[in-house]
Chain A
Amino acid sequence: MKYMNVTNYVTKWNTCLNYVKRNNSTSVKTKWQSVVGLEVHAQLNTESKLFSGAQNTFGGLVNNCVSLFDAAIPGTLPVLNRKCVELGVLTALALSCKVNEVSSFDRKHYFYADLPAGYQITQQRAPLANDGVINFQDGEEAAALVKELVLIVQKLGACSGRMEEGALRVDANVSLRKFGEPLSTRTEIKNIGSIRGVAGAVRHEIERQRTILDNGGHIINETRSWDATNKVTIAMRDKEVVQDYRYMPEPNLPPLRVNLHTKEDTQDVISVPLIKETIPELPEDSRRKLIEEYDLREISAIQLVNEPALLNYFYELVSDVTRNPTKVANLLLNDLLTVLNKRKVDVEYCTITVNQMKESTDALLNKQINLDIYRKLLDELFDRPIDFSVLEIIKEKGWTLESDETVIEQKCKEVLDNNPKLVKKYKEGKVKILNSLLGILAKTTSNKMDMAVATKKMEELLKK
């Protein structure tokens, strides 16, 4: 037996996600307009497979996730997984699709070594839902669209969205045409496995086709693949002979009916209005909320929503109104991310607890520590046990900021006494010398002075 982990993908969005990418550059090259269509395959996040009771686990033991039906043993029949339909409807609703009251299944035939039955079961002629709309930020890039889609399916819990595990895959169709002319021959780039890959593959393919067309060549209809290492698309097989899939209605599955109108939900008929009630706050709503209710800048809102873990920190932190949302957002997006990047830890796997985050942020906002120490503190937390007390670390490391004015004044005096030349220069009118003096203060006190107070004191002393 050669068949392992036969997984089922639901292809739903190939029709609803086609869009035209406008080319904004104004060089000579603009005679070409590129058209990009995306086909997204999202693997549903369910315990078992779409048509069988076999487990649906990534990295499962070889041949353990295969039922008799998956291996196409004669006489076995498909049984539709209710959970998959629910998730399908949920996703369709979130993408503002038209959900169809009756949909049906079709067999798509082709011979391939990983296809034991010789056909796939799909919904070719009457799908569960169609004609969706997706609103996304950040320009017309194909990658942004995929990112938005990933965020949506993750938020819905419909799909893990882990492209590196193949849970979501993208095929991109690219063609170039002159403005106002009909669509021309396209190429298809198969199985792109990362968001960066989508951006790179589409960009490269547009460039490749443009070069060919500019040199008077013509594009052939073919399937290409994306080489992520060398950043080029490579021809896989040509499509000169068009594969005829000989679609036929799947006779072993009756048409799928859903209840579009009432909340009556039975074993066999799923209520769509009932599912509609369960749609969570979608990325688009989150961004609007951040901008309107928390007064964040658009870019901060986009960045926060792009990282669900950061967004969660944000909501937790600003639940206490004393913390300023803009400051909190900046701390998360600048300082926490810097620390994570340095440590090469994915945001998703950040081990700092909400509690620790609150304590650290409060320490900073109450001027117990300064920004420099704040970063050190976050970094330190990774080496400590889970939920280790932040205050204890500050105490242990002696990171508390000195805010006693007399102490600060004393230290300032020392700096001035030790640097008479600089003081002289200042008094001669070089006011910028103040910064140098403050720098010396910070250095000699290992950054532990409250610099706002120190600046004030230093100025006072200099003016005496």
Chain B
Amino acid sequence: MKGELSIEKTNLFLKLDQIDKQEQQAIDGITIAVKDNFCTKNIPTTCASEMLKDFIPTYDATVYSKLINNGACLIGKSNLDEFAMGSGTVDSIFGPTRNAWGYNGDTDWRIAGGSSGGSAVAVSTGVCVAGIGSDTGGSTRNPAALCGVVGIKPTYGLVSRYGLIPLVNSMDVPGIIARNVEDATRVLNCVAGPDQLDSTTIKRDFKPIELKDIDLSNVKIGIPSEYHCDGMSEDVIDAWKFVEDLLEKEKAIIKKVSLPYTSVSIAVYSILNQCEVASNMARYDGLEFGLRTNEDYSTEELYASSRSQGFNNVVRSRIFAGNYFLLTRNYEKYFLKALKLRRLIADDFKNVFNGENCVDILLTPTTLCDAPLYGDFVSKHNRDQCAFQDYCTQPANMAGIPAVSIPIRLSKNKLPISLQLMGPNLSEELLLNVAKRIESNTNTEILSKLNISLDTLPLKCQELISKVATEQVTLSVNRLDPIAISLQQSRQIAKNLEDEYEILKLKLKNKELQVKIDRNQRFMDDLRKELDSSIESLSKQSPNPDNIEECIKQMRQKVASYEESYKKATMKFSKLSVPDSLLPKSLQAQLATLASLREEESMWKQRADDVLFTRQARDAFRRRK
């Protein structure tokens, strides 16, 4: 375990939140450990690498936010191989994770499996109820198997990868680790489903998985001969046979099947893995976060030195190999060929699930043997270890199909042995129901056989547990309550303060508004007064505006008659065509009158318009009042 940093703080606040929420949620108060390659807002997410040592994400991975929204409490981020590249959880900048099984002190201990070893150990030791891992070639199932717990690798696309720092994008899936099938199923039900932020999720709505008593007589179970490979321990073979017999007794139909391309799977996986790694790691250049060397000769030099110091040997060698495979001249020779073989491997599964003589699920071992000793494990190269450890698990990632690993019994070394069930895409419900049946039948209660005493645990676990224990002992109920209460109180005070602040702000706003209203009121009053006075003055005017129209009418008639007589007069004189100056005086006088009358008319017209306008304004004003 790592990440004690955030344990106490996170726990406390999350608990307080829970108190507020009245309704019970799916995994209310369930403690979880999340592998340190899932982004968690404001909590460091390191991928166990120098490159991300100081990386604090500003966003949550979809898986994590779904868990928190369903009531889970994060107790810490768990250890992994750097960037999830490994199968032992030994290549981490925080040091290796130790298995609780078979622990005999600092020099004699077993690896936890990997790369999600931290989550598996956290669950197996009871530090938390469930763990989140990632599974690219077996990284969830492998440590679950070696630690004696249940591990689920869902169908590719069932659970969102958004926020999971990628290893091989086309194979990565978030995985779930729990002590039994029921717990694991419950967590899966919380995290599965489409996500707009991940274009590769399956768009269909997710129907929660139900665990029920199923009739095994309708279930055809395949035993693939290719999984019986060199190096598989007798313990594992025995356990495999044991469960096969057990299922047969339960009336399931057992068939021998063949997956001929299984043996090439590891080589194909290795090429695809390294190519995607080379690409995914290109962003770690030391500029945005992580280790940045003092090289300042050029940007290229800075990239080169930061990258060579920031990654461990495993990561660096995968980047080199991947870039080599992706070179234009090699692309067809390696990458395209690997893709074609990947298709054949996926077709193997399709044939076995859909073709003639088809089966519903496959039963295989998860690992070839029980947990190796640390010393033995690190004596071999990481790549060889992966090839060996992932033999049974990694074909499922190639094909994208779901798989679940369940503990069966203990080996001669008193270490857990687990088996794996695989099914076609989206067959989680059948897989988990069969797993549940096996679990209840084997009834070995593997975990109860795990002798957890403080001194058999890894050092950091010991520290943590003793810390929790002392706190629990020293805190009497009486002492505990006041703390909780005072916390609640200060929370309440903070809330009240916030409310008061809001009220104050509103009051201030109110005041401003009142001033505005008053100002408007005054303006309206002035207007009203002005209007009243103008109404009054208008009524006094003579002629009164009300009969002004009559006046205009009369005036028009007058003008018309004058115009008429003028026309007649002009007609008379036009024949004579005398200049204007010679017109008779009477006509000139008439013309002058006409002009003045016209002027008067236009004046009255003007006044009528004014009156009309005032009236309209008055009406409008009244209506508004």
Give the docked Cα–Cα distance between A247 and B330 (Å): 11
**Shortest 9 CB-CB distances between A and B: which pairs?**
A118-B282, A251-B169, A246-B326, A251-B170, A74-B165, A72-B283, A75-B163, A75-B39, A75-B165
The reply to whether B300 and A111 contact each other, CB–CB distance below 8 Å, is yes
Given A72-B283, A73-B57, also A251-B161 (CB < 8 A): no
What residues of A have a CB within 8 angstroms of the CB of B299 in the complex? 111, 113
B303 interface contact, C-beta 8 A: yes
Give the docked Cα–Cα distance between A254 and B335 (Å): 18
Q: Mark B261-304, 1 if CB is under 8 A from A, else 0.
A: 00000000000000110110111010110000000000110010
A102 to chain B, nearest CB (A): 15
Instruction: Give the contacts of B114-168 with A (CB-CB under 8 A).
Output: 161-166, 168
Q: Mark B45-79, 1 if CB is under 8 A from A, else 0.
A: 10100001001011101000000000000000000
Q: In chain B, what residue has the closest Cβ to A253?
A: B199
Give the docked Cα–Cα distance between A368 and B47 (Å): 82
A354 interface contact, C-beta 8 A: no
The reply to whether A74 and B276 contact each other, CB–CB distance below 8 Å, is no
A252 interface contact, C-beta 8 A: yes
18 contacts between A and B (CB under 8 A): A2-B287, A68-B58, A72-B283, A74-B52, A74-B166, A74-B283, A75-B39, A76-B163, A77-B197, A78-B199, A109-B279, A109-B282, A111-B282, A111-B300, A118-B281, A118-B282, A246-B278, A248-B275
What residues of B have a CB within 8 angstroms of the CB of A71 in the complex? 288
Give the docked Cα–Cα distance between A80 and B203 (Å): 15
What residues of B have a CB within 8 angstroms of the CB of A78 in the complex? 199
Q: Mark A207-250, 1 if CB is under 8 A from B, else 0.
A: 00000000000000000000000000000000000001111100
B300 to chain A, nearest CB (A): 7
The reply to whether B59 and A68 contact each other, CB–CB distance below 8 Å, is yes
Q: Mark A238-274, 1 if CB is under 8 A from B, else 0.
A: 0000001111100111100000000000001000000
What residues of B have a CB within 8 angstroms of the CB of A113 in the complex? 287, 299
What residues of A have a CB within 8 angstroms of the CB of B197 in the complex? 77, 79
What residues of B have a CB within 8 angstroms of the CB of A253 in the complex? 199-200
For chains A and B in complex, what number of residue pairs have CB atoms within 8 angstroms?
98
Interface size on B, residues (CB 8 A): 44
Q: Most chain-B Cβ atoms within 10 A of its Cβ — which of A116, A251, A253? A: A251
Give the docked Cα–Cα distance between A278 and B288 (Å): 44
The reply to whether B55 and A74 contact each other, CB–CB distance below 8 Å, is yes
Give the docked Cα–Cα distance between A367 and B57 (Å): 74
Give the docked Cα–Cα distance between A113 and B331 (Å): 26
The reply to whether A80 and B199 contact each other, CB–CB distance below 8 Å, is yes
User: 15 other contacts beyond A75-B165, A79-B199, A253-B200, with CB at 8 A cut-off?
Assistant: A68-B58, A73-B58, A74-B39, A75-B38, A75-B61, A77-B199, A77-B200, A111-B303, A113-B287, A119-B279, A244-B327, A246-B278, A251-B169, A251-B276, A254-B200
Give the docked Cα–Cα distance between A247 and B331 (Å): 8
A1 interface contact, C-beta 8 A: yes
Q: In chain B, what residue has the closest Cβ to A80?
A: B199
Give the docked Cα–Cα distance between A71 and B288 (Å): 9
The reply to whether B39 and A79 contact each other, CB–CB distance below 8 Å, is no
- B residues near A (Cβ < 8 Å) are 38-39, 45, 47, 52, 55, 57-59, 61, 161-166, 168-170, 196-200, 203, 275-276, 278-279, 281-283, 285, 287-288, 299-300, 303, 323, 326-328, 331, 335
Give the docked Cα–Cα distance between A72 and B288 (Å): 9
Give the docked Cα–Cα distance between A173 and B259 (Å): 52
Give the docked Cα–Cα distance between A246 and B324 (Å): 9
A244 to chain B, nearest CB (A): 5
A413 interface contact, C-beta 8 A: no
- Choose one: B170, B198, B275; the contact of A77 (CB below 8 Å): B198
What residues of A have a CB within 8 angstroms of the CB of B328 in the complex? 244-247
What residues of A have a CB within 8 angstroms of the CB of B282 in the complex? 109, 111, 117-119
A107 interface contact, C-beta 8 A: yes
What residues of B have a CB within 8 angstroms of the CB of A80 in the complex? 199
Given A74-B52, A77-B161, A246-B327, also A252-B199 (CB < 8 A): yes
Q: Mark A311-346, 1 if CB is under 8 A from B, else 0.
A: 000000000000000000000000000000000000
Give the docked Cα–Cα distance between A78 and B198 (Å): 8
What residues of B have a CB within 8 angstroms of the CB of A2 in the complex? 287
Q: Mark A43-73, 1 if CB is under 8 A from B, else 0.
A: 0000000000000000000000000100111
The reply to whether B200 and A107 contact each other, CB–CB distance below 8 Å, is no
- Choose one: A75, A107, A116, A118; the contact of B162 (CB below 8 Å): A75
The reply to whether A79 and B196 contact each other, CB–CB distance below 8 Å, is yes
Given A1-B288, A68-B59, A246-B326, also A77-B279 (CB < 8 A): no
What residues of A have a CB within 8 angstroms of the CB of B59 in the complex? 68, 73, 76
Instruction: Give the contacts of A257-311 with B (CB-CB under 8 A).
Output: 268
A77 to chain B, nearest CB (A): 5
What residues of A have a CB within 8 angstroms of the CB of B275 in the complex? 248
The reply to whether B198 and A246 contact each other, CB–CB distance below 8 Å, is no
Give the docked Cα–Cα distance between A197 and B397 (Å): 53
B204 to chain A, nearest CB (A): 12
What residues of A have a CB within 8 angstroms of the CB of B165 in the complex? 74-75
What residues of A have a CB within 8 angstroms of the CB of B278 in the complex? 246
Give the docked Cα–Cα distance between A252 and B169 (Å): 7
Give the docked Cα–Cα distance between A79 and B197 (Å): 7
What residues of A have a CB within 8 angstroms of the CB of B200 in the complex? 77, 251-254
Q: In chain A, what residue has the closest Cβ to B163?
A: A75
Q: Mark A112-137, 1 if CB is under 8 A from B, else 0.
A: 01001111000000000000000000
A72 to chain B, nearest CB (A): 4
B173 to chain A, nearest CB (A): 13
The reply to whether A116 and B288 contact each other, CB–CB distance below 8 Å, is yes
A168 to chain B, nearest CB (A): 28
Give the docked Cα–Cα distance between A45 and B613 (Å): 51
B59 to chain A, nearest CB (A): 6
A3 to chain B, nearest CB (A): 8
Q: In chain B, what residue has the closest Cβ to A250?
A: B169
Given A75-B163, A247-B331, A248-B335, also A116-B283 (CB < 8 A): yes
A118 to chain B, nearest CB (A): 3
Give the docked Cα–Cα distance between A459 and B299 (Å): 84
B333 to chain A, nearest CB (A): 14
The reply to whether A117 and B283 contact each other, CB–CB distance below 8 Å, is yes
The reply to whether A268 and B58 contact each other, CB–CB distance below 8 Å, is no
- Choose one: B162, B279, B288; the contact of A76 (CB below 8 Å): B162
Give the docked Cα–Cα distance between A247 and B279 (Å): 9
What residues of B have a CB within 8 angstroms of the CB of A79 in the complex? 196-197, 199
B388 to chain A, nearest CB (A): 26
Q: In chain B, what residue has the closest Cβ to A69?
A: B197
Give the docked Cα–Cα distance between A245 and B196 (Å): 30
What residues of B have a CB within 8 angstroms of the CB of A73 in the complex? 57-59, 288
Give the docked Cα–Cα distance between A254 and B283 (Å): 22
Give the docked Cα–Cα distance between A254 and B161 (Å): 14
What residues of A have a CB within 8 angstroms of the CB of B198 in the complex? 77, 252
What residues of B have a CB within 8 angstroms of the CB of A252 in the complex? 169, 198-200
The reply to whether A77 and B39 contact each other, CB–CB distance below 8 Å, is no
B318 to chain A, nearest CB (A): 14
The reply to whether A268 and B303 contact each other, CB–CB distance below 8 Å, is no
What residues of A have a CB within 8 angstroms of the CB of B288 in the complex? 1, 71-73, 116
The reply to whether A107 and B55 contact each other, CB–CB distance below 8 Å, is no
Give the docked Cα–Cα distance between A168 and B30 (Å): 54
Give the docked Cα–Cα distance between A75 and B279 (Å): 13
B194 to chain A, nearest CB (A): 12
The reply to whether B303 and A248 contact each other, CB–CB distance below 8 Å, is no
Given A1-B288, A109-B279, A246-B278, also A77-B303 (CB < 8 A): no
Q: Most chain-B Cβ atoms within 10 A of its Cβ — which of A76, A80, A116? A: A76
